[in-house]
Amino acid sequence: MGGQAAYDVVRERYEDVRSDLEAMNGWLFENPETGYEEHRACGLLADFLAGHGFEVTPKAYGLETAFRATIGSGRLKVALCAEYDALPVVGHACGHNLIATTALGAAHALAPLVGELDVTLTLYGTPGEENRGGKAEMLAAGAFKDDDLALMVHPAPVDVLDPGFLAMAHLDVGFGGVASHAAMAPDKGVNALDAMVNAYVAVSLLRQQIPDDARIHGVITEGGESANVIPAATRSEWYVRARRSSTLVGLLERVEQCFLGAAQATGCTSSVESAAPAYDDLVTDPVLSSYFRDAAARHGRTMRPAHLGEVHGSSDMGNVSKVVPTIHPLLALGEGVPNHDPRFAELTITDDGHRLLRDGAMMMAETIVDAALARYRSADD
Ligand SMILES: [Zn+2]
Ligand SMILES: [Zn+2]
């Protein structure tokens, strides 16, 4: 079978489930679930795959809201990743409903070809991308270890072939002091909010002296209960990001010094803990990426490379990219509304969102066709 004949099959297969996929995308939008709480989303996607001939393992790799769906037994082992976690308050403002449905669309479209293409296709349901590092946990439990290639797409304001995802650490930071009457006995108190404010200011000053493409941002999640009680405990959440996992280590040490210094200055205790596994920077596979760029051109999209120093956040797909040749292109949705803006969620269910769904699914399916026909990364190469 030639490339065009295979593309024709996948395009036709997509049309068979187009309305189901658009409906699932809308359902996910209407019913957002945050990281590791995606029970209904996980069930919906797994049921669709089980109903279309995939062998489904629910609660895969020890995670309640992960799953694994496989079809075929060919030599080229290909992984597709479906994310489906939403954000607190702003729902699917990162467009993970489209990530899930593009992956399903690609998998369903390719299913009848896996024998002829000599492919084993595995769709991983990967929970908690935003806050829990689900893929890192799945990797640690053995996911992806047999795969030759891994693919997913992500909605964004722009089409970018090789996004500059930063390595990232996610920290929980707390300070402990002593409560006291704020007016009657302030001298008896040890103020954990003072420690937090000190830490926030120290990190803010540190930001002037870090590389342009590093990022540090935090929120105070507990700042005390009452203005007339010296706060005895405060908590905060921080993301520390650097261009490479190797440079993240040094930056983390500098940030931790800010927390320790704040504790020392105020007489508080401090605790700095990881809230999730660290995310690696993304390494894009150039060959797979070139197949994807060509597929995009066939569907009227021009994928541009990331500009030097351009930052697109972070993803636990970075961890996958360190062990499996990976692509994670960004596909444009709307005109200039950034991810995590509530308006971005609304865009996912428009005609433009549905176009992205079809494009993303077809471009991933055709990329896999090209890789299989070229015997790229096949076991006997
Ligand atoms: Zn996001
Ligand atoms: Zn996202």
The pLDDT of 354-360, averaged and rounded, is: 98
The pLDDT of 178-200, averaged and rounded, is: 98
- Same structural domain for residues 148 and 77? yes
Structural domain ending residue among the three candidates 274, 309, 337: 274
- Same structural domain for residues 296 and 316? yes
Distance from Cα 155 to the centre of ligand 1, integer Å: 10
Structural domain ending residue among the three candidates 274, 293, 309: 274
- Same structural domain for residues 308 and 217? no
**Is residue 77 in some structural domain?**
yes
**Rounded to an integer, what distance in angstroms lies between the CA atom of residue 98 and that of residue 76?**
26
Structural domain ending residue among the three candidates 226, 259, 274: 274
Contacts for 159 with CB less than 8 Å, ≥ 6 apart: 296, 301, 302, 303, 304, 329, 330, 331, 332
Which CATH number covers residue 11? Answer: 3.40.630.10
Distance from Cα 339 to the centre of ligand 2, integer Å: 8
Number of structural domains the chain divides into: 2
Distance from Cα 227 to the centre of ligand 2, integer Å: 38
Distance from Cα 76 to the centre of ligand 1, integer Å: 30
- Same structural domain for residues 333 and 219? no
Counting ligands in written order, the one closest to the CA of 316 is: 2
- Same structural domain for residues 263 and 176? yes
Residue pLDDT, tens place only, 82-133? 999 999 999 999 999 999 999 999 999 999 999 999 999 999 999 999 999 9
Least confidently predicted of 54-58, 96-100, 150-154, 377-381: 377-381
The pLDDT of 22-50, averaged and rounded, is: 98
Could you tell me the residue range of the domain that residue 249 belongs to?
167-274
Instruction: Give 380's pLDDT tier (boundaries 50, 70, 90).
Output: low
- Same structural domain for residues 93 and 115? yes
Distance from Cα 129 to the centre of ligand 2, integer Å: 7
Distance from Cα 59 to the centre of ligand 1, integer Å: 23
- Same structural domain for residues 68 and 114? yes
- Answer whether residue 217 shows pLDDT above 60: yes
Counting ligands in written order, the one closest to the CA of 98 is: 2
Distance from Cα 64 to the centre of ligand 1, integer Å: 21
**Which tokens is 52 given?**
């279309």
- Same structural domain for residues 102 and 249? no
Residue pLDDT, tens place only, 218-251? 999 999 999 999 999 999 999 999 999 999 999 9
Q: What angle do CA 379, 365, 288 make, to 5 degrees?
A: 55
- Answer whether residue 294 shows pLDDT above 70: yes
